[in-house]
Amino acid sequence: MALVLSLFLTNMAFQANLNLKKKANPLQALKKAGIGYTPGVTCNVDPSRNSQLHEIYLCVDVSGSNLVECPVFPRGKCASRVEFPSF
């Protein structure tokens, strides 16, 4: 029963993320000025020691359906030049 509930909750979270993606394209949000919300950005380093975009954080309210200002941002810095890795 716990595994089924866990899978159900994971699926709900995944679906909520897909719905939010429709509302806010993170790369587009970074390109535009004045999006109304400040995204958090983290980078990591690839095997060639290039700084690359790792994560973009956009915060949501408790319902998971509205963007809000993030109360805390992740610690971490990006280099002045960042690679966008292909998937």
Write out pLDDT tens, residues 9-33. 556 666 676 666 666 666 566 566 5
Helices marked H in the chain: 2-23, 26-31
Q: Report pLDDT digits (tens) over 55-84.
A: 888 888 888 888 888 888 777 677 777 666
Please report whether residue 20 resides in a domain: yes
Q: How far is CA 1 from the centre of its chain?
A: 31
Please report whether residue 85 resides in a domain: no
Please report whether residue 74 resides in a domain: no
Q: How many domains does the chain have?
A: 1
Please report whether residue 86 resides in a domain: no
pLDDT bracket for residue 52 (50, 70, 90):
confident
Please report whether residue 73 resides in a domain: no
Domain span holding position 56? 2-68
**For residue 24, what are the contacts with CB-CB under 8 A and spacing of at least 6?**
35, 37, 58, 67
> With a threshold of 0.75, does the pTM exceed it?
no
